[in-house]
Amino acid sequence: MIYSFANDYAEGCHPSILRALAETNLIQQAGYGDDAYTKNAEKIIRELTNSDADVHMIAGGTLANLTVIGSVLRPFESVVAASTGHIYVNETGAIEATGHKVEAAPSADGKLRPADIKPFLNKVRGHHVVRTRMVYISNSTELGTVYTKQELTDLYTFCKENDLILFMDGARLPMALTAPSNDLTLADIAALTDVFYIGGTKCGALLGEAVVITNPGLKRDFKYHLKQRGALTAKGRAMGIQFDQLLRNNLIFDLAGHANRMAAKMANAFAAKGYALSIDSDTNQIFPVLSNSIIPQMQEDYGCLVWSIADEDHSVMRFITSWATPEDVVDEFVKKLSGE
């Protein structure tokens, strides 16, 4: 295989992280997120979000999702996600294992709008059904799409009018915020959600997601939830150092922007070659519709996923780029594709 576009966690981490790990290695630090590096990363996040948010580093996305959602909901309350949402389709029932129903709203583009959520609020049977209390969105979505400022404002307003908590899964938030069509800032995200996270794993870190809680009502006792779910890391420094590096000088956004640009190059090449793109994504995931006849060779050369069946002769494929995707590899891919 020449290069894999199967996912965005195939390489290690940005070299500046490795340098920082080495430089700080023998400096003793407090455990469980009370180290100086985590504190500094938290400070940067509060500055970037223009907020007094609480920040907690968690080792992975599913662990972040189940810890956050489990901390917010009372036993009979549910969370709504898009039918494509990670918590609904790809976490082995992690949310249900905390006792809560995930309700799925059909969504063609991976995004949720107030109209998608309304049906869950009009339950007439009262205490015979779960009460919807939380909305889970991802940005960028599982389909690579991003929320506009207007869309997020509408959704957050709707949530506040209906006593709903809005939670954004930001595993690829840096890609969203650097997408060409994006008009949101990190401060907007903080102002227009109750809790969200900034993904590290897929954006230049070895591992780690930085959960940012802006709703004061959700801050209390969060470390108890972290500990109970196994999400409180003894050497919190290992994540603190990474976010401290990634958040300096815009690094994490530079890395995400690179991933987006590499994907755009590929998308353009597919389009130029006459392939449809089944979803209009301008982040690091693209979904070209390929003829089944060329897929075996494509997969031999480049790791990529058959996403869904388009018709008898065509499949929707998924290609993902990352902060680490070399531009020359992409250029060669484009050249090969054009030459075919």
Whose tokens are 């920082």? That residue is 20
Q: Binder to a copy of itself among 175, 232, 247, 269 (CB under 8 A)?
A: 232
For the chain, what's the residue count? 340
Q: Binder to a copy of itself among 16, 60, 149, 292 (CB under 8 A)?
A: 60
Is residue 83 within the footprint of a copy of itself (CB under 8 A)? no
Binding mask 13-32 for a copy of itself (x = CB under 8 A): x-x--x--xx-xxxxxxxx-
Q: Binder to a copy of itself among 49, 51, 71, 84 (CB under 8 A)?
A: 71
Q: Which CB atom, from 18 or from 277, has the smaller least distance to a copy of itself?
A: 18
Q: Contact region for a copy of itself (CB under 8 A) — 99-107, 154-162, 286-294, 332-340? A: 99-107
Q: Which residues contact 184 (CB under 8 A, 6 or more apart)?
A: 146, 147, 148, 149, 152, 176, 177, 192
Q: Which CB atom, from 70 or from 114, has the smaller least distance to a copy of itself?
A: 70
Residue ranges in the chain assigned as alpha helix (H): 15-24, 36-49, 61-72, 86-89, 114-121, 149-161, 173-177, 186-191, 216-219, 222-228, 237-246, 251-272, 295-301, 327-339
Q: Binder to a copy of itself among 183, 230, 268, 332 (CB under 8 A)?
A: 230
Is residue 219 within the footprint of a copy of itself (CB under 8 A)? no
Whose tokens are 């603190």? That residue is 240
Binding mask 253-292 for a copy of itself (x = CB under 8 A): ----------------------------------------
Which tokens sit at 136? 């889970």
Is residue 237 within the footprint of a copy of itself (CB under 8 A)? yes
Q: Binder to a copy of itself among 43, 118, 235, 335 (CB under 8 A)?
A: 235
Residue ranges in 80-147 assigned as alpha helix (H): 86-89, 114-121
Q: Binder to a copy of itself among 63, 121, 295, 310 (CB under 8 A)?
A: 63
Which tokens sit at 288? 């070209």
Q: Is the dihedral of CA 178, 180, 185, 188 positive or negative?
A: negative
